[in-house]
Amino acid sequence: MATIHDVAARAGVSPATVSRFLRGQRVRSPEAIQAAVDELGYWPSAAAQSLKSGRTRTIGAVVPDITNPYFAAVVKGMESVARRQRYRILLANSEESSEQEDEVIADMVRQVDGVILAPATEQDQTPMHVRDADVPMVFLDRDLADGEQFDAVLVDNYDGARQAAAHLLGLGHRRIAAISGNQDTTPGRCRRDGFVETLAAAGIDIRPDHDLIGDFREASGYQLTMVLLSLPEPPTAIFTANNLMTLGALKALHDMRVDIPAQISLIGFDDLDTGPLLRPPLTVIDRPMVEQGVLAMRLLLRRFDEQYADDIPRRIVLDTKLVERASTAPPQEETELPGRRTGRTRSL
């Protein structure tokens, strides 16, 4: 079995340099060291490293909903960086519960070197567990009121929703609905604000019965879409504020045999792996999901280097983009939803 001395000899550096590299610190010749590690199949003893360095070589990752494809992509990005630096990821699911999140964090900080957290809600209590344990933390996707005290990797949720609203307005829609997420989170609040304020700037005040709040879960997307379809004047277009609520909306429209986009256009925030394969293919606001995880892990590992441990927290905000497919189109003037019998043709 290869030893750290074998890796050092192959890379042309000292064993101490290899040790610092494996702890995630900046060293000379990192490419040569990584190549030697890969070629020799070297895997340091976790127990020995923990005893020598006081580190567990484990990173805690806490997400609100592990079933959400977005968080799966983010964790994939984290893992791609962690693996190369010989760190493991301890993944926990908070189930969108701040109470469960508190319990997870309080237990996790005794087992990990740092935490990447997508908060269930934007409260101050959870980070106290981390502050008390003196463990580095990076916030992902969601922020706190005092989030400037921590590194954070976010996306421009407001601009993404603005693009969605502008796209529908450009197609000629005026009766537009939004199914937003939890308003006590950064994505929920910023996406709703970006969408509603863009409509208002165009002279359209979204109707109260078209401005609905869900919980980022598929069931709420389904239920709230059914509410919209039951209205005397249903919308001609719907914006759903995350991928799971988009799936719920698609199921509701399918169950009611609504033609997309001939009767109702649909645009969602976050792409789906199956988005291009749906019939019709789904128009979405996309964001670099895997890159978010990569950047969050890099920020966290950077904190392990004494040179950067006390740096001012960094806040990275990534761009979003409109991916236009076939689920959005100009509204048709004369059409009626299936199953509705009003005695007259209803404009959609």
Cα distances (Å, whole numbers) of residue 130 to 92, 99, 105, 126, 149: 15, 15, 7, 7, 12
Residues 88, 43 within the same domain: no
Residues 176, 268 within the same domain: yes
What is the structure's pLDDT at 89?
Answer: 96
Check: CB of residue 297 under 8 Å from CB of residue 78. yes
Position 163 in a domain:
yes
Residues 167, 108 within the same domain: no
- Alpha carbons 98 and 115: distance in angstroms, whole number: 16
Residues 150, 235 within the same domain: no
- Alpha carbons 121 and 108: distance in angstroms, whole number: 18
What is the structure's pLDDT at 348?
Answer: 30
Residues 198, 280 within the same domain: yes
Position 48 in a domain:
yes
Q: Which two tokens stand for residue 237?
A: 């277009």
Position 346 in a domain:
no
Domain final position from 287, 303, 336: 287
Residues 94, 241 within the same domain: no
What is the structure's pLDDT at 207?
Answer: 97
What is the structure's pLDDT at 180?
Answer: 98
Q: Which two tokens stand for residue 152?
A: 């954070």
Residues 88, 166 within the same domain: no
Q: Report the CATH number that the domain containing residue 47 is assigned in CATH.
A: 1.10.260.40
Residues 190, 293 within the same domain: no
Position 348 in a domain:
no
Query: How many domains, in total, are found in the chain?
Result: 3
pLDDT (tens, 9 = 90+) of the chain, 348 residues, equals: 678 888 999 999 988 888 778 766 778 888 999 899 888 888 665 444 544 455 789 999 999 999 999 999 999 999 999 999 989 999 999 998 888 888 888 888 878 999 999 998 877 667 776 766 678 999 999 877 655 578 999 999 999 999 999 999 999 999 999 999 999 899 999 999 999 999 999 999 999 999 999 999 999 999 999 999 999 999 999 999 999 999 999 999 999 999 999 999 999 999 988 778 788 999 999 999 999 999 999 999 999 887 887 889 999 999 999 999 999 999 987 556 665 544 333 333
Residues 267, 161 within the same domain: yes
Q: Report the CATH number that the domain containing residue 218 is assigned in CATH.
A: 3.40.50.2300
In DSSP terms, which residues pair with 29 in a beta bridge? none
Position 329 in a domain:
no
Domain final position from 287, 306, 331: 287
Domain that holds residue 283: 157-287
3-state secondary structure the chain: CCCHHHHHHHHCCCHHHHHHHHCCCCCCCHHHHHHHHHHHCCCCCHHHHHHHHCCCCEEEEEECCCCCHHHHHHHHHHHHHHHHCCCEEEEEECCCCHHHHHHHHHHHCCCCCEEEECCCCCCCHHHHHHHHHCCCEEEECCCCCCHHHCEEEEECHHHHHHHHHHHHHHCCCCCEEEEECCCCCHHHHHHHHHHHHHHHHCCCCCCHHHEEECCCCHHHHHHHHHHHHCCCCCCCEEEECCHHHHHHHHHHHHHCCCCCCCCCEEEEECCCCCHHHCCCCCEEEECCHHHHHHHHHHHHHHHCCCCCCCCCCCEEEECCEEECCCCCCCCCCCCCCCCCCCCCCCCC
pTM recorded for the entire structure: 0.81
Position 34 in a domain:
yes
Position 208 in a domain:
yes
Residues 64, 105 within the same domain: yes
Residues 221, 276 within the same domain: yes
What is the structure's pLDDT at 345?
Answer: 30
Residues 176, 149 within the same domain: no
Position 63 in a domain:
yes
